[in-house]
Structure 1
């Protein structure tokens, strides 16, 4: 079993419902057990900025799936929830990114872990640190809590979450 951290975001339609459905889809996969989920945070878009604000969460999962199989599971969930890849960093119903997969360092065409930009993004780090406050980059050993991006004031607590069960009961 491997512990992995995923970032999930949504900025189209019922953003909350998309997040809940994505976590529910992970939760009911035989290969994945959702161990924890962060509170929900709202943030402005990064990269392509002419779009609605995002809701973001981070989940910690334990999985028997290899990293590339977990990527396929995430992409399958995105497709099931209507994700269309039209504009890089553009609007999306849901986006699932693998942030960390155990202590593995993976550099492939379709998967880079640890996520190459996670240390620059408060919308990733703040929810991650909520559920894993002492987590460090597996290659450098640097605590993510020491990254400059954590100081970003653009991440707003949207809804406090008290565990996976509470999260799965939320209604959009």
Structure 2
């Protein structure tokens, strides 16, 4: 396990990956493997990757179960350049964006870049404080870092426990470990590791 808390001069980039449609690959897991390989070919060094986990689709009934994973990366690119790379990889995999939380070939979320808060604290706080109902209708017009809902999502935190349990959220001060411990045990029980 990578202990990023004790790694000097390292500003970890956390990326969550998910897929519940095979797309151009033979399975969602293969789709994630391909995405990780493509990320590493774009001036982004993949430092650690989690296991793959099967997680229930959210919201329930919106599609087949997801395969989720997470990676820790290092690079010199700014956040918006990384996001552009991730969106291009999604598009090349066949992802289309028609509805919020639809089934998807590939979902790559830039979760965090070390202790960076973007675009500013008031904007972050606004999006982090939205009710679930508003989350389902509204999409931020700009990149928000850290991801404003990461602390609520078992399918994000469970893979991060494999590779970055000691990463500290720059706004709340909580580690991945403490955010994970605060999740509903019944939701965590629905997440199962799989072989890639």
Task: Return the TM-score normalized by structure 2.
Answer: 0.76
Residue aligning to 1:119: 151
Q: Distance in 2 between matches of 1:150 and 1:99?
A: 21
Larger Rg: 2
1:118-143: CA deviation from partner (whole Å, max 9, x where unpaired): 11111100111110121221122112
Residue aligning to 2:193: 157
Give aligned pairs, total. 159
| Contiguous gaps of at least 5 residues in structure 1 | 160-169
Q: Is the 1:48–1:89 Cα contact (8 Å) retained in structure 2?
A: no
Q: Distance in 2 between matches of 1:106 and 1:50?
A: 30
Residue aligning to 2:142: 110
Q: More strand per residue: 1 or 2?
A: 1
Q: Is the 1:36–1:59 Cα contact (8 Å) retained in structure 2?
A: yes
Cα-Cα RMSD = 1.6
Q: Distance in 2 between matches of 1:143 and 1:114?
A: 13
What SS does the aligned partner of 2:12 have?
strand
Q: Is the 1:48–1:90 Cα contact (8 Å) retained in structure 2?
A: no
Moved more, 70-79 or 109-118: 109-118
What is the Cα deviation at residue 48 of structure 1? 6.0
The match for 2:30 among 13, 17, 37 is 17
